[in-house]
């Protein structure tokens, strides 16, 4: 059980961390928010036995790892003070301003989301609330993700029925949100924490069956680190090398695929090697050195997400090679900034906002946040859906099975990257490129080969739509296999548009 002294030590640790990444942080506001939090939650304890104020404190500590702005940290301290504490909204406005109060309001609304099947209409309405909140300020979602991450770390203290409900909410809503915001490490942690409660037998099986493979992979990676470290240094490439273990939930989902069927030898990234360089040019030098030491695996190729970032802003070079003893190994190469972006995603934007307040020039900031417009485009798309879709079940399916589904990344022949939900087809791809393209579809190629229009795409595919010279009526049968809302809506639009002349 945490004592008052323990919490004050953690609070001082938080302030040091804030000062380190944001020298202009308003520590007076942070101090005031902590005192306000403790007073509002006086006499309250969590089921773990810890003082209730420990939860907002640890939520703030998590946010500090993501390098968010001062208002987000303050909101983390205050996010439960109205609903579960003795505070009023006007108290927060008076002491911390309307912006912070709006963040706290937003977190409260997002906290209402539930997946109870007997309350479908309520679930739908809460999803709509979530989208409206996100449209106003995505920082709300960051605070809520920190809140949920700490709650998942202490889920053991809750009754079993609540454990399963909260864990399932985490898998279906919060982990996908983290993925869409590019916060990869948080997504992985949330999934692993929820995994043991939602699928306890599968969790125990993956722990047992994967142990030997993790150990073998780590031995191979250890040898590669020594070899690469020596050669990189010899070639004057400044780099840090470390290993990344694949998260258990992600590993389980991959092993469950039909084409893998629990064959661990087909998992090349159970432990991946990461090379973190000083700048982009060193990334490509490192790639050449890797391929000189270890032969690339034929047909798997190199995925260059530096030249063509993923839509959520992720940047890195991925290559699969034959490591020591012929073991397949995935190597990821990126700069330190890209590495932080991969872990903290959209959250990194707010650190740049703070830097701007400190006088950093706009052109420098733009280089840091240039991909953020792409990252939040999907959130804007959700808002448009909300305005367009009147059928409740259709809207819920669009959010769950499209917007918050696992994503794949495919390329046009020119190298442009598109993100689509898992099981997307060439038809979905065509409508993602441009809605008008759906009227001209004649056929499709994937990696240069003709495929059926209901072919399920996978990450890394190069997709080409073969076009008719003139527009044609869309095929009603496509509705049986497309998965994206944009494709379904586009097909229905053309089917119902009597003014189209083909």
Q: Which helix (H) or strand (E) holds 270?
A: none
69: CB partners within 8 A, 6+ apart: 22, 139, 350, 351, 353, 354
**399 found inside a domain:** no
Q: Domain check: are 164 and 181 in the same one?
A: yes
* Helix, strand, or coil (residue 411): strand
pLDDT in tens, 433-489: 887 888 889 999 998 999 999 999 988 888 999 998 888 777 889 999 998 878 888
Q: Which helix (H) or strand (E) holds 244?
A: strand 239-245
Averaged over 141-151, what is the pLDDT? 92
Instruction: pLDDT band for 416, please (50, 70, 90 cuts).
Output: confident
Q: Please, what's the largest Cα pairwise distance for the chain?
A: 76
In whole angstroms, what is the distance from residue 242 CA to residue 274 CA?
A: 5
Q: Domain check: are 179 and 53 in the same one?
A: yes
H-type helices in 278-434, by residue range? 280-293, 336-344, 348-357, 362-369, 372-375, 377-388, 392-398, 426-433
Q: Domain check: are 34 and 177 in the same one?
A: yes
User: Quick one: pLDDT at residue 360?
Assistant: 40
**289 found inside a domain:** yes
**Rounded mean pLDDT of the chain?**
83
Q: Return the closest-CA partner of residue 123 out of 353, 399, 307, 434.
A: 399
Give the residue from 177, 198, 219 where a domain finishes.
Answer: 198
Q: Domain check: are 149 and 22 in the same one?
A: yes
**370 found inside a domain:** no
Candidate list 84, 209, 381, 454, residue with the active-site label = 84
pLDDT in tens, 224-238: 999 999 999 999 999
**263 found inside a domain:** yes
- Whether residue 352 has pLDDT greater than 50: no
In whole angstroms, what is the distance from residue 374 CA to residue 386 CA?
A: 20
When divided into structural domains, the chain yields a total of: 3
Query: Which tokens is 415 given?
Result: 């190298």
Q: Three-state secondary structure along 135-181?
A: HHCCHHHHHHHHHHHHHHHCHHHCCHHHHHHHHHHHHHHHHHHHHHC
State the DSSP code for 83.
T
List the domain range (segments joined by +) for residue 466.
405-496
* Helix, strand, or coil (residue 44): coil
Q: Domain check: are 251 and 171 in the same one?
A: no
Alpha carbon separation from 257 to 193, 205, 214, 254, 262 (Å, rounded): 22, 16, 19, 6, 8
In whole angstroms, what is the distance from residue 461 CA to residue 411 CA?
A: 6
- Distance between first and last Cα of the chain: 72
Question: Any idea what the CATH number is for the domain that residue 288 is in?
Answer: 3.30.460.10
User: Quick one: pLDDT at residue 382?
Assistant: 56
CB 110 within 8 A of CB 129: yes
Q: Domain check: are 85 and 192 in the same one?
A: yes
* Helix, strand, or coil (residue 273): strand
> Does residue 363 have an active-site annotation?
no
The b/e string for 155-178 (b: 16+ C-beta within 10 A; e otherwise) is beebeeeebbbbbebbbebbbbbb
Q: Domain check: are 187 and 332 in the same one?
A: no
In whole angstroms, what is the distance from residue 21 CA to residue 11 CA?
A: 16
- Whether residue 216 has pLDDT greater than 80: yes
Give the residue from 345, 363, 394 where a domain finishes.
Answer: 345
Give the residue from 325, 345, 365 where a domain finishes.
Answer: 345
CB 426 within 8 A of CB 453: yes
H-type helices in 400-444, by residue range? 426-433
**433 found inside a domain:** yes
- Whether residue 188 has pLDDT greater than 90: yes
Residue that the structure tokens 């190729």 belong to: 301
CB 18 within 8 A of CB 64: yes
**382 found inside a domain:** no
User: Quick one: pLDDT at residue 434?
Assistant: 87
Residue 460, sorted as left (phi over 0), alpha (psi -120 to 50) or beta, turns out to be left
Question: Any idea what the CATH number is for the domain that residue 417 is in?
Answer: 3.10.20.30
pLDDT in tens, 191-207: 999 999 999 999 999 99
In whole angstroms, what is the distance from residue 485 CA to residue 487 CA?
A: 5
pLDDT in tens, 11-53: 999 999 999 988 888 999 999 999 999 999 999 999 999 999 9
Q: Domain check: are 237 and 164 in the same one?
A: no
Q: Domain check: are 166 and 224 in the same one?
A: no
**351 found inside a domain:** no
H-type helices in 400-462, by residue range? 426-433
In whole angstroms, what is the distance from residue 265 CA to residue 359 CA?
A: 52
Query: Which tokens is 144 given?
Result: 């809520």
pLDDT in tens, 92-115: 999 999 999 989 988 877 765 554
Q: Domain check: are 147 and 91 in the same one?
A: yes
Q: Domain check: are 173 and 229 in the same one?
A: no
> Does residue 343 have an active-site annotation?
no
Candidate list 31, 35, 83, 447, residue with the active-site label = 83
CB 294 within 8 A of CB 260: no
**400 found inside a domain:** no
User: Quick one: pLDDT at residue 400?
Assistant: 55
Question: Any idea what the CATH number is for the domain that residue 190 is in?
Answer: 1.10.3210.10
Instruction: pLDDT band for 250, please (50, 70, 90 cuts).
Output: very high
Exposed/middle/buried for 202, CB within 10 Å: 0-12, 13-18, 19+? middle
Q: Domain check: are 278 and 340 in the same one?
A: yes
């Amino acid at each position: 059980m945490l004592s008052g002294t323990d919490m004050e030590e953690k609070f001082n640790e938080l302030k040091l961390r804030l000062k380190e990444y944001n020298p202009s942080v308003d520590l007076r506001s942070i101090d005031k928010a902590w005192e306000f939090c403790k007073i509002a939650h006086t006499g309250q304890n969590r089921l773990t036995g810890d003082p209730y104020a420990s939860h907002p404190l640890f939520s703030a500590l998590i946010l500090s790892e993501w390098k968010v702005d001062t208002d987000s940290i303050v909101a983390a301290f205050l996010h439960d003070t109205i609903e579960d504490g003795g505070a009023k909204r006007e108290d927060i406005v008076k002491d911390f301003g309307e912006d912070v109060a709006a963040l706290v309001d937003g977190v409260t609304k997002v906290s209402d989301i539930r997946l109870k099947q007997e309350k479908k209409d309520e679930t739908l309405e809460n999803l709509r609330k979530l989208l409206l909140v996100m449209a106003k300020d995505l920082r709300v979602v960051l605070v809520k993700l920190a809140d949920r991450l700490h709650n998942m770390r202490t889920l053991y203290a809750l009754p079993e029925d609540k454990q399963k409900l909260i864990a399932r909410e985490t898998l279906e809503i919060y982990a996908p949100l983290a993925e869409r915001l590019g916060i990869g490490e948080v997504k992985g942690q949330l999934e692993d924490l929820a995994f043991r409660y939602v699928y306890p037998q599968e969790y125990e099986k993956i722990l047992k069956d994967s142990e030997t493979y993790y150990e073998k992979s780590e031995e191979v990676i250890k040898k590669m680190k020594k070899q690469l470290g020596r050669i990189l240094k010899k070639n004057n490439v400044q780099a840090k090398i470390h290993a990344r273990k694949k998260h258990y939930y992600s590993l389980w989902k991959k092993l469950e695929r039909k084409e893998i069927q629990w064959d661990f030898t087909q998992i090349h990234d159970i432990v991946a090697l990461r090379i973190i360089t000083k700048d982009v040019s060193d990334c490509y030098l490192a790639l050449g050195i890797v391929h000189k030491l270890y032969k690339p695996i034929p047909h798997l190729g190199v995925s260059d997400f530096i030249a063509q970032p993923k839509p959520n802003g992720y940047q890195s070079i991925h290559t699969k090679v034959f490591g020591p003893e012929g073991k397949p190994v995935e190597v990821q190469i990126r700069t330190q900034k890209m590495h932080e972006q991969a872990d903290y995603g959209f959250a990194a934007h707010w650190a740049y906002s703070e830097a701007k307040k400190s006088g950093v020039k706009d052109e420098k900031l733009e280089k840091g946040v240039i991909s953020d417009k792409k990252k939040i485009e999907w959130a804007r798309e959700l808002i448009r859906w909300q305005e367009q879709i009147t059928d409740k079940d259709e809207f819920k399916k669009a959010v769950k099975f499209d917007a918050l589904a696992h994503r794949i990344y495919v390329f046009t022949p020119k190298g442009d990257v598109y993100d689509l939900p898992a099981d997307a087809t060439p038809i979905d791809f065509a409508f993602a490129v441009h809605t008008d393209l759906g009227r001209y579809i004649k056929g499709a190629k994937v990696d240069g080969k003709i495929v059926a229009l209901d072919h399920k795409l996978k990450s890394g595919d190069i997709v080409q739509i073969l076009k008719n010279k003139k527009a044609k009526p869309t095929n009603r049968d496509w509705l049986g296999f497309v998965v994206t809302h944009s494709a379904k809506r586009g097909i229905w639009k053309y089917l119902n548009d009597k003014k189209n002349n083909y």
